[in-house]
Structure formats: structure tokens, C-alpha cells
Structure 1
Amino acid sequence: MLHVLFEPFFHYGFMRRALVACFALSLSTTPLGGFLLLRRMSLVGDALSHAILPGVATGYLLSGMSLISMGIGGFIAGVIVAVLSSWASSITQLKEDASFAGFYLGSLALGVTLVSLHGSSLDLLHLLFGSILAVDADAIHFIGAIASITFVSLALMYRALIIEAFDADFLRVNSSGFPRLIQTLFLALVVLNLVAGFQMLGTLMSVGLMMLPSVAARCWTISLPKMLVLATVISMFCSWCGLLWSFYTSLPSGPTIVLSASLVFFFSILLGPSGGIALLLRRRRRRY
């Protein structure tokens, strides 16, 4: 059994690089997913993961498979969509989720059109679904830098993010404009991590490793620190399992990682003591 679990990572460099990149991404993106869940913005992460596609496609068309160019393009596109969505919801009757939906769908269509006009179907599949087993040393350094920036930023904004999530009115009264600044910086971190994830999981699935472990962890604990730690552990575990699943079955690595996280999510929904069906059954027994 140990041979099956560890042998691919000992003998193949591309498997080790993929695992290191997944672990770094888990440390970076999963806490952001926890705060998105806390702020009831889970689908915003999905919207932003689609919104970066035009920028990634533009960087690809200008510089080829340059990670830096595609990363910068994706970050700019994601920030533009986030800013425009917030602006539209502030000056119209639209809710923020509705404005995000409108902008991200247009952004996704634009990105697919750009790649279709000037690239091939293989290029489109690579951008949409990633290629985690092709991660090289430069990509690992890129992901590691983003993970470090995210970790430090979350440490500095931790208390403000919690207060803003539970009592935004308190921040508005005591610090004019501060909640908007916190939200802008937080969304910028989300976009930055989605840009880091697209190289491995693609623009369509990079949000999976961000949200699924956090939602699963929420079913097991109501403590935010414990939830963030547990979500990170779940993300790493699913990365390991997904890579092994892909190695032994020749299935695409990105989808198997996200599918592993989905299986943990369904398991947590069924048996989680703090938010799953088991909790609902216990409450009904107490009533009767």
C-alpha cells in the first residue's frame, strides 16, 4: 500500500513538481475560500475564475505560453470585472451577485472568442482546464510567490476581514471607506490566486480547490480557525489523491483533483456534525 501511495512521487519529477505546486496553492487559496464562504460570496469566486480568461487569452496571444504575461493579463481582467461589478451594483438597483453574473459571462465569452479566433482547440482546452503535470520550476516559483503574498496579507487583514464579515456597519461607522478598501484588497487576492491556479487547473476549475475544501470543512466545525486549518488539510489530501488517481488511470489531473474534493464534500454533507445531514437528523430526534 505504501508503495502505491508514494512510489509515483519518488520516481517521477513531474509528479513531485505537481504535488509541491498543489500544496502551495492549497496553503494560499483555501483560506480565501473560507472567507468567501464566511462572507456569503462563494459564487463570486466562480465568477472571477471565469472572468480572468480574456486577460489570460490576451497574454497568450501576445507572448505565447508565457506564465508571466498570461498571469498579468488574467489579474488585470479579473480586477476590472470585480471593480465594474461593484460599481454597477452601487449605482443601480442590481444586487452584487447579479452584476457579477452579467460581467463574468461576457468576460468568459470574450476569452473563448479570442482563443478561438487566433488559437487552436488544444490551446483553448489548455487554458480552460490547465495542465498540472506540465508545471515547471518557474511556475512553482510563481505560485510560491503568490502564496507568500497571500499568507502575509491575510495575516495582516485577518481581524478586519472577520469584523467586516460579521459587522460591516461597525467598520463603516468607525472608519469611513475602510470596508470598501478591505473588500477591494480581498477580491484582488482572490483574483491573484485564481491566476496562480489556472496554470494547473485551468480557468474553469481553479475555483474548485478554493471552495470545495472550505465548504467541506464547514460541515465539521463552526470555529473559523479550525475550519481554515481543516480546509487546508483537506485540500492537500485531495491534491495527493487526485494526482495518484490520475497517475494510475491516465485521467486528466485537474479534474481528478477537483473530483476528489467533490467526493470529500459529499461525504462531509452526509456525516459532518456541524453542518451536514447528521446534524439535521439529531435535531429532529430531539424534537420528538
Structure 2
Amino acid sequence: MAYDLLIAPFADFAFMRRALVACLALSLGCAPVGMFLLLRRMSLLGDALSHSVLPGAAIGFLLGGLSLPAMGLGGFVAGLTVALLSGLATRFTALREDANFAAFYLISLALGVMIVSAHGSNVDLMHVLFGSVLAVDDLSLLLVAAIASITLGGFALLFRPLVAECFDPGFLRAAGGAGAWVHLAFLVLVVLNLVAGFQALGTLMAVGLMMLPAAAARMWARRLWALVAVAALIAFGAGYVGLVLSFRFDLPSGPAIVLVAGVVYLLSLLLGRVGGVLPRLIRPSHFEA
């Protein structure tokens, strides 16, 4: 019974195995990105950039059809363009970064929906917005795995300056740490992982696997390495359970994965040992280690 429920779908169907490997790659890449977004108080930036990839993905769809690499390349260019334009607007105007990101992502989202609606069908629009991890082919899987590898390598190189920028950006500037370039490199990693998530979950769901596990992990660990590890485990677990539910009950795979991650987040709010509701009620905060 347990084998038929939990293992048989992956043992019997190649598309389920590809989807599971894609979820593993997404978990490894999105976990550190989501955690640093959370620590930098930039959680909504991920949501803004996930919407910003839509016009590029739509143009990639028009040129290459339902080719996920073509749509992913277009989405990366569009997301990076929005990030750069928002940064320039912040530097040369009085508006703050969050306001500029909100403005540019709304323009980008509307443009993307307009492009798909004008040149495609409702089915095409739903595919671009919500994706399908069960439709990931070998080429798309290699792309997602490559992005995860680039992300881990990038964080290995940028870990110290990123941590410094999170907790003491003034020190990084005083030490000549090139904070602006570190910030730009981080935004590139964010956009890359949103493109990877777009391959499987669509533009509206991609940020869910990035931010929900990170927020849930914050309730279970304190050290940065532990936070990233717990977030990756939660993301992969949500991917596994979401795929099983999607297969057994004929549910859309992307929303199922994100909803499972959301349930873990809600349970973490209640039960998490670092600031969860029930531990706070049982043990006063001044007794916490």
C-alpha cells in the first residue's frame, strides 16, 4: 500500500521521475535565494520579479512555441531588465526601491498578459502563468539543474559579502566590498532561480517554492547554514508530496506543491521551536536558548 502510494508513481513513470529531479534541483537553488531575500527584508522582491519574467516568457513563446528553454531565456532577459531599470530609477529619483519594483513589475505583468492573450489562447496563458512540472523534458531538466549548480557556485563565491550586506551594509561599503556589485550579482541569482521555477511552476507559482520554505525554516533554526538546509528539505518535501497528490487526485502540480509548502509554513508558525506560537505559550521567550 505504501509502495503503491509513495514510490510506484516515480518507479513506473519517467515524467514523474523528471519532475522529482526538477523539484530537487529547484530546492537546492531556491533555498539560499529565498533565505537571503528573507534576511534582507526583500521577500516581496521575489514576487515582483516572478511577475516581471512574464513578457519575456511570452515573447519566447511566440518565437519558439511551448519551448521551455526559449521561454526561460526570454524570462531571464525580462526579469533582469526590470531589476536593472528599478535600480537605476532608485539611484536617480526620489522613489524607494520597493516602489520602483512595484511599478515596473505591474507594467511588465500587464504587458506579458497582453502579449499572450493577443497571440495565443487561454490554454497558452494558463500554461505560462501556472506551468506544469509534469511536462518538464530532458532539456528543461538540464537547464534547471544547471541553474541550481550556478546558484550554489555563486553563493559559495559571494557568501561572505552577502552576509555582510544583510547585517551590516555600512561595514561592507567602508571595507571596499563593492556592495553595489554584490547586490547586482544577487539579483541575477534571484532572476535565474525564478526562471528555473518558471520552467516547472509558471510565473505565478515560481516564487512560492522560494519564499514559503524559507519562511517556514525561520521558525526551526537560527544559524544561517541550518536555515538554508531546513529550507531546502522543506522545499523538496513539498515537491515530493505535491507531486504524489497531483498524481493521485488529478490536481495541477504547481499549485499542489506550493499549497503543501504553505501548509508546512502554517504548521511552523504554530509549532516552530524558534518563535512558534505554542512554544511561546508553553515556555516564555526569556527561557529560550
- State if a TM-score over 0.5 links the two structures: yes
What is the alpha-carbon distance in structure 2 between the residues aligned to residue 48 and residue 22 of structure 1?
A: 20
Residue 279 of structure 1, CA deviation: 4.5
Which residue in 2 is equivalent to 1:138?
A: 139
**1:205-284 pair list within 5 angstroms:** 205-281=205-281, 282-283=283-284
Residue 96 of structure 1, CA deviation: 1.2
Contact 2:144 2:199 in 1 (8 A): no
Residue 284 of structure 1, CA deviation: 7.0
How many positions carry a matched residue from both structures? Answer: 285
Contact 1:127 1:199 in 2 (8 A): no
The unaligned stretches of length 5 or more in structure 2 are: none
Contact 1:75 1:195 in 2 (8 A): yes
Contact 2:52 2:82 in 1 (8 A): yes
What is the alpha-carbon distance in structure 1 between the residues aligned to residue 189 and residue 59 of structure 2?
A: 21
What is the alpha-carbon distance in structure 2 between the residues aligned to residue 201 and residue 129 of structure 1?
A: 6
Residue identity in the other structure for 2:130: F
The unaligned stretches of length 5 or more in structure 1 are: none
SS in 2 for 1:204: coil
Q: Identity of counterpart residues, as a percentage?
A: 55
Which residue in 1 is equivalent to 2:196?
A: 196
Residue identity in the other structure for 1:210: M
Structure 1 runs (4+) deviating above 4 angstroms are: none
Residue 98 of structure 1, CA deviation: 1.2
What is the alpha-carbon distance in structure 1 between the residues aligned to residue 229 and residue 129 of structure 2?
A: 29
Residue 226 of structure 1, CA deviation: 0.4
The alignment's TM-score, normalised by the length of structure 1, stands at: 0.96
Contact 1:48 1:78 in 2 (8 A): yes
Which residue in 2 is equivalent to 1:128?
A: 129
After superposition, give the CA deviation of every residue in 1:153-212 in whole Å (9 maximum; x if it has no partner). Answer: 111111111011101001111216x11100100001110111111121000000000110
**1:25-64 pair list within 5 angstroms:** 25-64=26-65
Residue identity in the other structure for 1:274: V
The alignment's TM-score, normalised by the length of structure 2, stands at: 0.96
Matched, 1:115 2:116: yes
Aligned-residue CA RMSD in angstroms?
1.3
Specify whether residues 180 and 279 from structure 1 end up closer, same or farther in structure 2 by C-alpha distance, changes over 3 A only: farther
Which residue in 2 is equivalent to 1:8?
A: 9
What is the alpha-carbon distance in structure 2 between the residues aligned to residue 32 and residue 81 of structure 1?
A: 18
